Amino acid sequence: MATLETHVDGLTLPNPFVIGSGPPGTNAKVIGKAFDEGWGAVISKTISLDASKVVNVAPRYARMRAQQSREVIGWENIELISDRPFETWLDEFKQIKDKYPDRVLIASIMEEYNKDAWVEIVERTQDTGVDAFELNFSCPHGLPERRMGAAMGQDPELLEEVSGWVCAASKIPVWAKMTPNITHIEDPGRAALRAGCHGLSAINTILSVMGVDLDTLRPEPTVEGYTVPGGYSCKAVRPIALRMVMELATMMFGGGCGAPIPEGDEPAIKGEFPDRSLSAIGGVETGEDAAQFILMGAHTVQVCTGVMIHGYKLAGELSRGLLAFMEKHGFETLEDFRGHALKYFTTHAELVRRQAEVKAAEKAARAGMVTKDAAWEGDSFVEQSDRLVSND
């Protein structure tokens, strides 16, 4: 009987489905609802020590729909981190852990470039009994103006220093959440793991402009006629998230990218951090989407926008879809297929070489030429020999 039970960084989750930081984990009420509906873990909305500096605007979302079906495929937000007071969050973390002692609650935290502030937020938050931290090094709008979020995540040196402060103060696992708004996501990933983070999460939202209203000539979402570029999420980002998770997983666990496909099971590239964890995020709405991220090396799979579209009951659908995939292939546990697809990435030159090899073999077969010793036949032996002669 296949199981979805997930073991990561000493934590046990009933399944790999995690509420990603955002509106679906924004207070004790909704976090409780997520646990009641069976989510494997919840990551809170990102919190900071001084919420009075966080002022949200409305509207702050804009959606992209498919032309025919009207299905939502892309979602832009210009939402900031939580505007709720730090003390309120500490109370609520305690309440949630009292009510759900066996469920995994992860606090997403963010601070300015100040060691005392990071140490304070880590120490006071972990005293509530939360199970792990996720460091938000990746919010692409608003916070970078204060050198927070993506501004930190785009600077591996700064990120390594801050991760080092957090890891020294933290007694629980620490995941660093990566920004996709960077050329080589492995660089900040490597910096966070070097500093001692237990795992990486990827991706946060992709910096975007949803569109321009052709009547008003103003970009969307419009607040008093103006806007800022925001973070893009939902289905449309999944291929980009898969690519970035593949790049991180190859760096961490090894894989075939950038080198010929190995003949055996040995990856062509050796992983630099084989014992650390990876949490994938970006456009997941089905168990099949999640299976693809696990095949790409992820231990857990986060969902944020999908919950805003389908509600908390999505957890059941995700579990059913992933179990059906596992049963089809005879996989008993997630480890039976985690990272399986990584070895099939190679260089373009290798694709060309493989294709030429297959075409040459097909051409020879069409001409009836023997290319392998096993193809010799006793009855047509002489004809087969004749076809291999080039100078008659």
Q: Which is nearer to ligand FMN, 112 or 350 (CB)?
A: 112
Q: Is 178 in the site for ligand FMN (CB under 6 A)?
A: no
Residues 221 to 260: which contact ligand FMN by CB under 6 A? Answer: 233-234, 237
Q: Could you confirm whether 234 is annotated as catalytic?
A: no
In whole angstroms, the minimum distance from the beta carbon of 387 to ligand FMN comes to 57
Which residue type does 54 have?
Answer: V
Q: Taking contact as CB under 6 A, which single stretch among the options 83-91, 243-251, 301-309, 317-325 is the one that binds ligand FMN? A: 301-309
Q: Per-residue x/- marks for ligand FMN, 204-223, CB under 6 A?
A: xx------------------
Give the one residue of 6, 15, 108, 279 binding ligand FMN; rule: CB under 6 A.
108
> In the complex, what is the shortest distance from the CB of residue 13 to ligand FMN, in angstroms, rounded to a whole number?
17
Q: What is the distance between the alpha carbons of residues 81 and 135, in angstroms, rounded to a whole number?
A: 12
Strand, helix or coil for residue 245: helix
- With CB under 6 A as the contact rule, the residue among 17, 35, 75, 253 that binds ligand FMN is 75
Please tell me whether residue 314 binds ligand FMN under the rule CB under 6 A: no
Does residue 77 bind ligand FMN (CB under 6 A)? yes
- Rule CB under 6 A: say whether 287 interacts with ligand FMN: no
Q: Cα separations (Å) of 26 from 21, 30, 44, 121, 219?
A: 8, 7, 6, 18, 28
* φ/ψ of residue 117, rounded to 5: -65, -45
Stretch that binds ligand FMN, among 2-10, 281-289, 358-366, 382-390 (CB under 6 A): 281-289
Residue nearer to ligand FMN on the CB measure, 40 or 306: 306
Question: Which region among 14-22, 217-225, 246-254, 266-274 touches ligand FMN (by CB under 6 A)?
Answer: 14-22
Terminal CA-to-CA distance of the chain, rounded, Å? 65
Buried-state track 301-335, b at ≥16 Cβ within 10 A, e below 16: bbbbbbbbeeebebbeebbebbbebbeeeebeebe
- Cis bond before residue 144 (omega within 30° of 0): no
Closest approach, Cβ 241 to ligand FMN, in A, equals 7
Q: Is 281 in the site for ligand FMN (CB under 6 A)?
A: yes
Query: Does the CA dihedral 68-74-78-79 come out positive or negative?
Result: positive
Q: Decide if residue 79 touches ligand FMN (CB under 6 A).
A: yes
Beta strands in the chain (DSSP E): 6-8, 11-13, 17-19, 41-43, 61-65, 72-77, 104-109, 132-136, 174-177, 199-202, 206-208, 211-212, 219-220, 230-233, 254-255, 269-270, 277-281, 300-303
Whose Cβ is closer to ligand FMN: residue 56's or residue 216's? 56
Active site residues: 139
